Structure 1
Amino acid sequence: MASDTAPSRRAPAGAAVLRDDVTEAIRAAVFAELAAVGYGRMSIEGIARRAGVGKAAVYRRWRSKLPLVLDVVSAVAALGVPAPSTGSLLTDIRVLLEVTARALRHPVASQIIPDLLAEASRSPEIAEALQTALRDTQRGIASGIIDSAIARGELPQDTDAELALDLIAGPLYWRLAVLRAPLSPRYLDRLSAATTAALAATAAM
């Protein structure tokens, strides 16, 4: 088993040097464990075994599985996704729907997200992390799409980006995470057109 300290001529006295490759292996193992056994049954032992490291390597970075999971979820959220910029509200929404659907259809995400949402009802810390990971990041993308549409004159200044996010993300989560129904390109085309029309209609109210 590889040591968790990297060779260094000036290693800090009395402190381990945390290797980046070990940290990334642990983070990847967290996703795999969440998908395989869920948060409730996930353990530091299982994460360490899957990452190919000792438990001490995990505990040197995180004191328990909760801060470990929160850190991994927050790190993924921080990566963000650039707002589509196609020059049209309809096509911007279509691109965003495609990207979001692809992410929700990923085998790991399709297992992890429902499990973490269930845990969020029991853990304020997990709920807060998911708020950042799943909603705040998407809110920024929706705001970018709406701001661009306003600048082009497709939507009025007072268009509600929060409502836009609900209209865009809600149907996808319902079909993929709740119903687990397939999504065809034609469905995404129709949903894009319906969402664009709904935004225009609600903005006029």
Structure 2
Amino acid sequence: MTTDPDPRPPRRAPAGAAVLREEVTEAIRAAVFEELATVGFARMSIEGIARRAGVGKTAVYRRWKSKLSLVVDLLSAFAVQGLPAPSTGSLYGDVRALLEVASHALRHPVASQIIPDLMVESARSPEIADAIKATLVDSQRGMASLIVRDAVARGELPPGTDAYRLLDVAVGPLYWRLVVVREKLPKGYLDVLARGAVAALRV
């Protein structure tokens, strides 16, 4: 048994509608990261982004109305793509895995340039401050809460343990070392930091 082909004509995009090609969008996003790392947010321009992406300014403005909305959108997208919390079966293993992921991200040459610059800009822009909070703070707090919750369920931590303290005693020193002081991590540093963080949570 055969069916007749659909007699309806294929849909067409409305006249004058812009078709946003995904490869162009991704090229623009990559260019934003490179521009931020090279010149910083204050000196970054739509012209520079377009030139680096190999597109016209119109292609950028079709997608974002300004460099601020572009950066906020980029940061918000990363917040949605948050990594799952480690699940190694032990508190030490989970904290060590968290530190491994965080150190890898903070050592990336682009991230190490962008994060401090955007932290400065967040003092002047509530939009950037909110996007950074969602990307760097809320996602990390959610991960820390899951790690502590699992440790409490296993009996490794007492009920009521402050999950946010995990970030203070583990990720805080790592951020200081890699982003602020910009020193290489000594051999075994993550192991020592993980043990210290576990001990601090149990106090």
Q: 3-state DSSP class of the match of 1:154?
A: coil
Cα distance, 1:144 vs. partner?
1.0
Q: Percent identity between the aligned chains?
A: 67
CA distance in 2, matches of 1:34, 1:78: 21
Aligned to 1:26: 28
Cα distance, 1:9 vs. partner?
6.5
What is the number of equivalent residue pairs in this alignment? 194
Q: Which amino acid aligns with 1:117?
A: M
Q: Which amino acid aligns with 2:108?
A: H
CA distance in 2, matches of 1:165, 1:158: 16
Q: TM-score normalized by structure 1?
A: 0.92
Cα distance, 1:185 vs. partner?
4.1
Aligned to 1:93: 95
Aligned to 1:148: 150
Q: Which amino acid aligns with 1:90?
A: Y
Q: 2:49 aligns with which of 35, 47, 54?
A: 47
Q: 2:125 aligns with which of 123, 126, 146?
A: 123
1:196 aligns with 2:198: yes
Query: Structure 1 segments of 4 or more deviating over 3 A?
Result: none
CA distance in 2, matches of 1:162, 1:74: 21
Task: State the Cα RMSD in Å.
Answer: 1.2
Q: Which amino acid aligns with 1:149?
A: A
Aligned to 1:5: none
Aligned to 1:135: 137
Cα distance, 1:169 vs. partner?
1.3
Q: How does 1:155-194 map to 2 (within 5 A)?
A: 155-194=157-196
Q: 1:75 aligns with which of 77, 102, 108?
A: 77
- The structure with more radius of gyration: 2
Q: 3-state DSSP class of the match of 1:98?
A: helix
